[in-house]
Structure 1
């Protein structure tokens, strides 16, 4: 009689058990998000461009010999060379020095304007969507009023009458006028989450409104809120650049939009001084474009229906 194979012999184990043992354990939500994030080319390229430009704006001014970007430091209208990487303006100002200082101002106005707009949008959207009733009606009416007001016209009037304009003040007014569309979107998302079981459980346990909103609802919208901030960040930069280009930018500094305005005012295009207006134009396009590309990548990471792999 043939001897029975010993227990645990792979030949006697079911194929399903062997295959299950070879499979890797399921990924947690955080690890799954990171798994797709590091494999998304749009997100990686967008973040890389933003990181390079941000590092240039932070470190670049520290490496310059002259702290004043508007100082006269070389021959007039000189093309790029080893001493002046981006050439000089018609007044002998170093374009590279203005560019790195302008990048810093661009990111600063984006952070201030986008951050203020995001905070107002979250407060209005969360409380309107969760509380409903008369609270929702009042906040929605206020949002619609601000939404129909021509924000650019308001910014033009405010900036025109300000004696001294700075980047923080500019970011403040941009943030106070660019939040309504985000508030409406957050309200709609909150309205769909307030009837979920975990929210009902928190409500029955006696938690206060603000705790339910910021401990239960907001974490479940974290990816959406982050993408909303990116859009508000890029929008603030575009609005600030528009104000700068028409001469209503900061009066005590330099920005990429002011560089374009100065180049246009002193006929850089007609004189063939391409190195004066190309860097700030490319800088604005690169920052905003990279932010929107990264936002598309994040949407693909957080939305399983859009994932390619």
Structure 2
């Protein structure tokens, strides 16, 4: 999974404030085409709403998130309940049809979306925190600490993540998506740590960081108050990529049959459809919804990330 493109270390300022490698300076925000930004909107919101990629990606993700949150409330059957005739195509009684076991595909789909968002949030969040902590510490402290952390990062980076997860999941007999998400998070942080470390190396030589250091602030305070805020856009985009990557890895494990078997997920739906020869039998309503769900959520996140790249980087903004 590719890391986001290098951005300018300084964050995009809020309306009325500019922070280009130093103290905030009051400015009059201007749109890319020279028109003034409305006073009641921040500069970020203004440019984000004008970027069709960000709006499209966010809209797609929100649609699937709404389905995950509210879909189980309107589903008429439990996801693993034998609720009716087998291999029924979509109808008014079964919106997404039924499986070869008489299970409601719609109920499985909306519960599977919940599992996908859970794995993405927990797994991506853990990887984001680990990557940020290791990257900030290595980049700011340097010396022997940087050498040790960089060596650890490189070791984990060259290990085939999916292969390790397959072995661990098979021997641990994973029983919950929370455990699966933790395992994903513990193996997905190295590229994020390298990206944060590189940006921190650049920022720690700036004058405003030297002033903060000379004022007696601790390492944690300097990172939290001076370096991290100037990387906020980069950190946001990094989390989105980790979120989508965790969903893909989780779906891969579930498709291979290594996820929780007592519950339901999008990957497990595709695994069951494959084992039941749904494609050969023409039961497209069984395997198509989970595939669309995975592609829609992950694709929406990446399109949204591309839009954010253009929003945060003035050189990429569309006029």
Output the TM-score relative to the length of structure 1.
0.90
> CA 1:192–1:87 in 2, change beyond 3 Å: closer, same or farther?
same
> Is 1:140 aligned with 2:144?
no
1:81-132 CA-partner distances (Å, limit 9, x unpaired): 0010000001110000000000000000000110000000000000100111
CA positional deviation for 1:27 = 7.7
The alignment partner of 2:50 has SS state of coil
For residue 173 of structure 1, the aligned residue among 175, 180, 183 is 183
Q: C-alpha separation between the residues in 2 aligned to 1:49 and 1:107?
A: 14
> Is 1:43 aligned with 2:54?
yes
* 4+ long deviations beyond 2 Å: 23-28
Instruction: Give the aligned partner of residue 34 of structure 1.
Output: 45
Q: Say if 1:164 and 1:252, in contact at 8 Å, map to a contact too.
A: no
Q: Say if 2:37 and 2:46, in contact at 8 Å, map to a contact too.
A: no
For residue 298 of structure 1, the aligned residue among 299, 305, 308 is 308
CA positional deviation for 1:74 = 1.2
1:214-268 CA-partner distances (Å, limit 9, x unpaired): 1110011000000000000010011111111111111231000000000000000
Instruction: Give the aligned partner of residue 15 of structure 2.
Output: none
Matches within 5 A, 1:170-249: 170-249=180-259
> Is 1:59 aligned with 2:59?
no
What's the C-alpha RMSD, in Å, of the aligned pairs?
A: 1.5
> CA 1:86–1:25 in 2, change beyond 3 Å: closer, same or farther?
closer
CA positional deviation for 1:196 = 0.7
Q: Specify the structure having the higher radius of gyration (Cα).
A: 1
Unaligned runs of 5+ in 2: 1-33
Q: Say if 1:159 and 1:165, in contact at 8 Å, map to a contact too.
A: no
Specify which structure has the higher proportion of helix: 1
Instruction: Give the aligned partner of residue 14 of structure 1.
Output: none
Q: C-alpha separation between the residues in 2 aligned to 1:103 and 1:277?
A: 14
Q: C-alpha separation between the residues in 2 aligned to 1:223 and 1:233?
A: 15
The alignment partner of 2:100 has SS state of coil
Unaligned runs of 5+ in 1: 1-22
Instruction: Give the aligned partner of residue 125 of structure 2.
Output: 115
Instruction: Give the aligned partner of residue 159 of structure 2.
Output: 149
The alignment partner of 1:82 has SS state of coil
CA positional deviation for 1:163 = 3.1
Instruction: Give the aligned partner of residue 23 of structure 2.
Output: none
The alignment partner of 1:38 has SS state of helix
Instruction: Give the aligned partner of residue 283 of structure 1.
Output: 293
> CA 1:191–1:76 in 2, change beyond 3 Å: closer, same or farther?
same
Q: Say if 2:75 and 2:106, in contact at 8 Å, map to a contact too.
A: no
CA positional deviation for 1:165 = 2.2
Q: Say if 2:174 and 2:180, in contact at 8 Å, map to a contact too.
A: no
